[in-house]
Amino acid sequence: FTACSSCPGAGQDVGRSCILVSIAGKNVMLDCGMHMGYNDDRRFPDFSYITQNGRLTDFLDCVIISHFHLDHCGALPYFSEMVGYDGPIYMTHPTKAICPILLEDYRKITVDKKGETNFFTSQMIKDCMKKVVAVHLHQTVQVDEELEIKAYYAGHVLGAAMFQIKVGCESVVYTGDYNMTPDRHLGAAWIDKCRPDLLISESTYATTIRDSKRCRERDFLKKVHETVERGGKVLIPVFALGRAQELCILLETFWERMNLKAPIYFSTGLTEKANHYYKLFITWTNQKIRKTFVQRNMFEFKHIKAFDRAFADNPGPMVVFATPGMLHAGQSLQIFRKWAGNEKNMVIMPGYCVQGTVGHKILSGQRKLEMEGRQILEVKMQVEYMSFSAHADAKGIMQLIRQAEPRNVLLVHGEAKKMEFLKQKIEQEFHVNCYMPANGETTTIFTNPCIPVDISLGLLKREAAIGPVPDAKKPKLMHGTLLMKDNSFRLVSPEQALKELGLAEHQLRFTCRVHIQDPRKEHETVLRVYNHLKGVLKDYSVQHLPDGSITVESILIQATAHSEDQGTKVLLVSWTYQDEELGSYLTSLLKKGLPQSTA
């Protein structure tokens, strides 16, 4: 059976994912996320839950990371270098490339900006990544002789994967974060009908009915357009990959259609990095991007040009994409400082910002920021937030369950929310058990392994001929011999089994003596017995053979005189093992004695 322990996060749409699965004796940790809402030790999962004597490397067979978001991998360096784990860490290639960048960014913000001390170092991030084994999609990876894992495409962000963990005939699928509808640069999650014993799915967005992408984009374009029309500047801080490309394509199309003249810039550092990553991971994006990339360089747009620092001071409207995404350092922060004072300008944050960053502060409504050297920056520009990140809603979860056909479902959710409705929905539609453990709770799931057994044709034909006609809805009881050899199971007739094994068949025969008081001759006693039995056992075949014995079906009855007492006759009742029931019935019948009446 598999057991599961989860430590989901709390609050808003940010959580922390870290799940421990025990399957057929193997222990796997799924994701190792950091909770970004807390500033103290509560941000790390409590690893003492896992094992009492602390040797994680011995206890865990592997760690799997689903994607590069910090709430899924943020605690990894802490876990591997500060708590201590030296075993393998599995993730996809893009995740392996992008994780360290985000972890380093995050470390810089937390330590340099906020002065935290109990945190992992840059060296620790490097050491941690050395333990990572990168995997390809749909590639079966043998972790050891019994444990294997396989990654499936999850959509959501570049490199995000769902993982199947298999030991023998038991398997678990963990989805991480996934999305069932394709967007401009990522496809939709997909899995085959792998029928895992358990599907672990996130369900934070199960109760959300999302506004359509079209409407979000329409509003985004409207805002950008309005700002540019009144001569303002729009700053869009982005991470190098993902949403930036989507927004670029969106703006380019809009500019073309509306014949707009205001310049759009993309900072060069971004271009190089993004190009580099896209070249590496082109198979991870969807068809459209791939086609675009093949036809031209990712950033050779007609209306979008490379940015130069000096342009920020140019008068007039413009749109600029710059890194980093949370406005915590670098070019985007520089531009922000230049433009913040003018209310005609606008900054659009396209994603979640970590606490402590300028991005987070302005999204929380702060309008006076303290910069280095105690300088106060007054923010008069418009601050907008636009979330493009995609998660599965209730419909998506149902779709995934339909695709994978799990036997049990376990939902991990952000808050200890009541999700009784979704649970019932899943149970009713798919007739599977649905579990929703709370933070720190262990769920135990029992599996019914399927053992395939081949049945010999001869046995099948013989058994099918006996008794009622085979009915698909009713189980039929069959008798045979189970031969187990070399991991194969076969059901054959006993005769064939004996033959194959070179064994001789033994016949068991029982003989029972019944004493009857009868002074007459033996053959008269036999006649009396015969008539008695014929009268009682009307449904059976009772025969009086010429040699003086009686048969009832296949049971033989013979009479002899008692050696010492002529008045007593001894009936020998003899039957084979197969006729045990009838034999003992006959014996007890005869023991009751014969009726007095004569033949």
Partner 1 sequence: YRELHTFELQAPTRLIEWAHGSRVCVAGYGQSGGNEILQLIPPPRLQAKETQGLCPERDFKVECGGFSKHPVYSLKHVPDTSLLVTSGPPDSSIQVWQVSAEDSDVIKSMGTIVTENSTGQPWAKIATISARVPWVLHGSTLDSVQITEVELRKNVYRAASQDSEELSGLAFLDSSTVLLCCARGRLCMADVRQPQHPTQAVPVPAVPHGERWCMGTLCAAQGSGMGSQPIARLSSRGFIILTDLRKASEPLALAQARVPSPGSGAEFLCVSWAPALQGCLAISGFDGTVHVYDTQRWDSSGREAEPTFVHKGHVLGGAGGSGDPPLVTAHTWHLQKPRTVLSAASDGSLHVWDWVQP
Which C-beta is closer to partner 1: that of 118 or that of 424?
A: 424
How distant is the alpha carbon of residue 124 from its chain centre? 30
How distant is the alpha carbon of residue 562 from its chain centre? 78
Of the candidates 194, 203, 172, 132, which has an alpha carbon nearest to the alpha carbon of residue 22? 172
* Three-class secondary structure of residue 268 per DSSP: helix
How distant is the alpha carbon of residue 253 from its chain centre? 39
Cα angle value 41/43/46 (rounded, 5°): 70
Taking the complex as a whole, the smallest distance from the CB of residue 38 to partner 1 amounts, in Å, to 21
What span, in angstroms and rounded, lies between the C-alpha atoms of 589 and 599?
18
Helix axes 243-258, 268-280, angle to 10 degrees: 120
- Cβ distance 269 to 277 under 8 Å? no
What span, in angstroms and rounded, lies between the C-alpha atoms of 115 and 144?
42
What is the helix (H) or strand (E) element at residue 576, kind and residue range?
strand 568-576
| Beta pairing, strands 161-167 & 170-174 | antiparallel
Which C-beta is closer to partner 1: that of 334 or that of 382?
A: 382
Of the candidates 66, 77, 57, 56, which has an alpha carbon nearest to the alpha carbon of residue 18? 66
Taking the complex as a whole, the smallest distance from the CB of residue 387 to partner 1 amounts, in Å, to 5
3-state SS of 325-389 is: CCCCCHHHHHHHHHHCCCCCCEEEECCCCCCCCHHHHHHCCCCEEECHHHCEEECCCEEEECCCC
Q: Look-up: residue for tokens 């876990």?
A: 79
Whether the upstream peptide bond of residue 595 has omega within 30° of 0, thus cis, is: no
Residue type, 356: G
591: left (phi over 0), alpha (psi -120 to 50) or beta: alpha
Neighbours of 189 (CB within 10 A): 27
Of the candidates 85, 68, 4, which has an alpha carbon nearest to the alpha carbon of residue 34? 68
Which C-beta is closer to partner 1: that of 229 or that of 565?
A: 229
How distant is the alpha carbon of residue 300 from its chain centre? 40
Q: Which residues contact 439 (CB under 8 A, 6 or more apart)?
A: 6, 7, 8, 10, 416
Taking the complex as a whole, the smallest distance from the CB of residue 404 to partner 1 amounts, in Å, to 19
- Beta strands per DSSP E along 312-357: 318-322, 346-349
Q: Out of 81, 104, 148, 202, which one is annotated catalytic?
A: 202
* DSSP for 68-122, written as a single string: S-HHHHTTHHIIIIIII--S-EEEEHHHHHHHHHHHHHHHIIIIIIT---SS--H
| 405 is known as an active-site residue | no
Q: Locate 280 and state its tokens.
A: 């590496």
Neighbours of 367 (CB within 10 A): 13
Which C-beta is closer to partner 1: that of 385 or that of 585?
A: 385
What span, in angstroms and rounded, lies between the C-alpha atoms of 474 and 225?
69
Taking the complex as a whole, the smallest distance from the CB of residue 210 to partner 1 amounts, in Å, to 5
- Cβ distance 129 to 122 under 8 Å? no
| Beta pairing, strands 147-153 & 140-142 | antiparallel
Taking the complex as a whole, the smallest distance from the CB of residue 394 to partner 1 amounts, in Å, to 7
Taking the complex as a whole, the smallest distance from the CB of residue 396 to partner 1 amounts, in Å, to 10
Q: Which residues bind partner 1 (CB under 8 A)?
A: 207-212, 214-216, 218-220, 223, 348, 382, 384-387, 394-395, 398, 417-421, 424-425, 428-429
Residue type, 61: D
Scanning 351-411, the segments in alpha helix (DSSP H) are: 358-363, 394-404
Of the candidates 359, 335, 339, which has an alpha carbon nearest to the alpha carbon of residue 349? 359
Taking the complex as a whole, the smallest distance from the CB of residue 362 to partner 1 amounts, in Å, to 13
Taking the complex as a whole, the smallest distance from the CB of residue 42 to partner 1 amounts, in Å, to 24
Which C-beta is closer to partner 1: that of 225 or that of 290?
A: 225
Taking the complex as a whole, the smallest distance from the CB of residue 180 to partner 1 amounts, in Å, to 12
- Cβ distance 191 to 173 under 8 Å? yes
Catalytic residues, by residue number, are 202
